[in-house]
């Protein structure tokens, strides 16, 4: 007889013998032992599920931490230029920002010593928006929109106020490295 045919013919019989042996062993166990085996299996399953949930929770927490760490932080001093529309020469620009979550405050001006402060700015991903009040009574303002790329940011500033204090220009800033 062919060995392959013999193994195929007896494969079903071997499986039936194994199932019979398992059921005979289980029925021979007392109810007390069988109950403890079943309880043990349930406890092991619950423990495995708890470990799975713990692992998923840990993984989710790590991912959220990574996202929080990758959020743009513009706190610090920034220096660069302001190129007014219609003018050929760029003027110096200096900003000092303080970021708290997605809120932004700080000051802007032509130098570190000559600054106009603002509050209520917003950080949304890599974009900043803020308004700087102008004039002794706040009759005008500068609206600024910037996009951050690492230690550089670019954007536009638009002045609104009584003539001749209106216009717009392009701002380019780099983070000042403290020595």
User: Which of the listed residues 19, 39, 70 is the one where a domain comes to its end?
Assistant: 70
Picking from 68, 87, 74, the residue whose alpha carbon sits closest to that of residue 129 is 74
Please give the Cα distance from 45 to 89 (Å, whole number). Answer: 73
With a cut of 60, say whether residue 157 has pLDDT above it. yes
Q: Where are the beta strands (DSSP E) in 47-139?
A: 76-84, 91-100, 103-109, 116-124, 127-134
Question: 57 with 25, same domain?
Answer: yes
Question: 124 with 149, same domain?
Answer: yes
With a cut of 80, say whether residue 128 has pLDDT above it. yes
Give the bridge partners for 121, in sequence order: 104
Which pLDDT value is given to residue 145? 96
Hey, is 39 helix, strand or coil?
helix
* Cβ within 8 Å of residue 130, ≥6 positions away: 104, 106, 118, 120, 121, 122, 143, 144
Q: 168: domain range? A: 76-175
Question: 126 with 50, same domain?
Answer: no
- In tens, the pLDDT along 7-27 reads 555 555 565 666 565 555 555
User: Which of the listed residues 70, 89, 107 is the one where a domain comes to its end?
Assistant: 70
More confident call, 108 vs 26: 108
Locate 158 and state its tokens.
Answer: 């638009």
The total number of structural domains that make up the chain: 2
Neighbours of 167 (CB within 10 A): 15
- In tens, the pLDDT along 34-80 reads 555 666 666 666 666 666 666 666 666 666 655 454 567 999 999 99
pLDDT-wise least confident of 57-61, 72-76, 112-116, 171-175? 57-61
Using only the alpha carbons of the chain, give its radius of gyration: 36
Picking from 132, 140, 74, the residue whose alpha carbon sits closest to that of residue 103 is 74
Count CA atoms within 13 Å of residue 115 on its CB side: 15
Question: 93 with 119, same domain?
Answer: yes
Average confidence (pLDDT) over 87-102: 92
Neighbours of 74 (CB within 10 A): 21
User: Which of the listed residues 70, 100, 123 is the one where a domain comes to its end?
Assistant: 70
With a cut of 60, say whether residue 91 has pLDDT above it. yes
Question: 108 with 170, same domain?
Answer: yes
Question: 120 with 163, same domain?
Answer: yes
Question: 99 with 159, same domain?
Answer: yes
| DSSP run (H or E) holding 156 | strand 152-160
> What does the mean pLDDT of the chain come to?
77
Give the bridge partners for 123, in sequence order: 128
CATH number for the domain spanning 116: value is: 2.40.128.20
Which pLDDT value is given to residue 149? 93
Question: 122 with 82, same domain?
Answer: yes
* Cβ within 8 Å of residue 153, ≥6 positions away: 74, 78, 128, 146, 147, 171, 172, 173
Terminal C-alpha separation, the chain: 90
């Amino acid at each position: 007889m062919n060995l392959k045919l013999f193994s195929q013919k007896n494969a079903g019989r071997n499986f039936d013998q194994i199932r019979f042996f398992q059921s005979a062993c289980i029925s021979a166990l007392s109810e007390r032992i069988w109950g403890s085996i079943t309880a043990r299996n349930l406890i092991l399953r619950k423990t495995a599920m708890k470990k799975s949930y713990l692992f998923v929770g840990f993984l989710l927490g790590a991912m959220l931490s990574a996202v929080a760490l990758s959020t743009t932080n513009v706190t610090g001093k920034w220096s660069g230029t302001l190129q007014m529309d219609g003018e050929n020469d760029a003027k110096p620009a200096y900003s000092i920002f303080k970021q708290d979550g997605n809120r932004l405050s700080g000051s802007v001006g032509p130098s570190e010593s000559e600054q106009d402060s603002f509050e209520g700015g917003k950080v949304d991903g890599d974009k900043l928006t803020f308004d700087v009040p102008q004039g002794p009574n706040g009759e005008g303002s500068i609206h600024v929109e910037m996009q951050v790329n690492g230690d550089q940011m670019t954007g536009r500033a638009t002045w609104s106020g009584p003539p001749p204090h209106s216009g717009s220009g392009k701002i380019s800033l780099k983070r000042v490295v403290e020595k």
